[in-house]
Amino acid sequence: MNGPTAPAAATGPQWGASGVTVVFGKGSAQVTALSEVSFPVPRGQVAAVVGGDGAGKTTLLRTLVSRVGPVSGTVSAPPQRQCAFMPTGASGVWVDLSVEENLNFVGAAYGLTGPDLEQRKARLLETADLAKARDRLAGRLSGGMRQKLAFCMAMLHEPDLLVLDEPSTGVDPVSRVDLWRLISHAAAQGAAVAMATTYLDEAERASTVLVLDDGHVLAQGTPSEVLAATPGVITTGTAPAGDPDLSWRRGRAVHSWHPGPARPGENALTPDMEDSVIAATLARHTTAGGVT
């Protein structure tokens, strides 16, 4: 992968969500998908949102592109024409159209024609390493290639706000590198990039990280701020140190967590993003009334 995404100088308005609460359903079926979540997405930066299944990542991204209306809070986004949304699993790609036809359709939707469209297509396809596949049906592309096509389609009109829902999920490591190159390039060009990811090593490369759990904010800030705010103490060993429900495997090692300060003789581990997110989740569930 490339080096970390350097926060670019943020100019112009800052997009994002502020104190947003989203509720689905009615009466007894009511579910709070997001609870007073703030998620700033500055221009020229990549803001990542991470969390487990059902944490509220997709809902948060959908509020940014006006696909979900919050019951309270504020969403700030450019006009829809200047937004782009890449849904998870490259589901925004028309599989019965070729790579080129997909891009032509999106180009026509945004009023792009002639040499301008051709130049943008050529540049994106070249960067995404899809130039040789421009006549291939999108349905016949590999998962990674289709994700990259979806990204190219989202970037074609050079949006101010680029919203990516798990762009690299299910993508092979090489394509992930390509995708990150594209994402970094988009941010470097000045786009505000909001992305959800399940890969915590990717989140560490973002300018800011929001950790969600069950619609609540667990941690937020730059990656180093999130790591520094890791609650409790994490240790490593070959077996769980204490409650097995507070331990998890990392390769051959077992990491264990407990709240509060380090105990005598304990060697606290410097957490990475994965350890930090797990610790924050365990801390929330422990204080909420026992580990679940």
Partner 1 sequence: MKSMILKEFLELRRDKRTMAMIIGLPLILLVIFGYAARFDVTDLKTDVYGPQAKTVAGQLKDPFDVKETSTSKGKDQAEQALREGTVDVAIVTGSSPSEPSTAYINGANLFAAQTAVASIATSEAPIKPDVLFNPDLETSWVMVPALVGMIMALIGTLITAIGLVKERQAGTLEQLAVMPFKPTDVIAGKIVPYFILGAFDLVLVTVLGCLLFGVPFNGNVLIFALGSALFLLAVLGLGVLISTVSQNQGQAMQVAMMSIMPQILLSGMIFPLESMTWGVRWIGYLLPLTWFNKIANGVMLRDAPLSSLWVPLLVLAAMAVLLLGAAVLRFRRDLAPAMPKIPAKTTATAGAGR
Residues that bind partner 1 (CB under 8 A): 22-26, 30, 62, 65-81, 83-85, 87, 89, 91-95, 106, 109-110
Q: How far is the CB of 73 from partner 1 (least distance, A)?
A: 7
Q: How far is the CB of 190 from partner 1 (least distance, A)?
A: 17
Nearer to partner 1, 109 or 262 (CB): 109
Nearer to partner 1, 22 or 211 (CB): 22
Residue 269 contacts residue 255 (beta carbons within 8 Å): yes
Partnered with residue 251 across adjacent β-strands are none
Q: How far is the CB of 199 from partner 1 (least distance, A)?
A: 21
Is residue 173 classed as helix, strand or coil in its secondary structure?
helix
Buried b (16+ CB within 10 A) or exposed e, 259-291: eeeeeeeeeebebbbbbbbbbbbbbbbbeeeee
Length of the chain: 292
Q: How many angstroms from the chain centroid is the CA of residue 265?
A: 38
Q: How far is the CB of 288 from partner 1 (least distance, A)?
A: 24
Between CA 211 and CA 49 the distance in angstroms is: 6
Q: How far is the CB of 261 from partner 1 (least distance, A)?
A: 40
Instruction: Specify the pairing of strand 161-165 against strand 233-237.
Output: unpaired
Nearer to partner 1, 99 or 277 (CB): 99
Residue 65 contacts residue 77 (beta carbons within 8 Å): yes
Q: How far is the CB of 167 from partner 1 (least distance, A)?
A: 14
Nearer to partner 1, 165 or 204 (CB): 165
Q: At what angle do helices 99-109 and 143-155 cross, to 10 degrees?
A: 20
Cβ neighbours for 144, distance < 8 A, ≥ 6 positions apart? 171, 172, 174, 175, 176, 178, 179
Nearer to partner 1, 49 or 156 (CB): 156
Nearer to partner 1, 106 or 145 (CB): 106
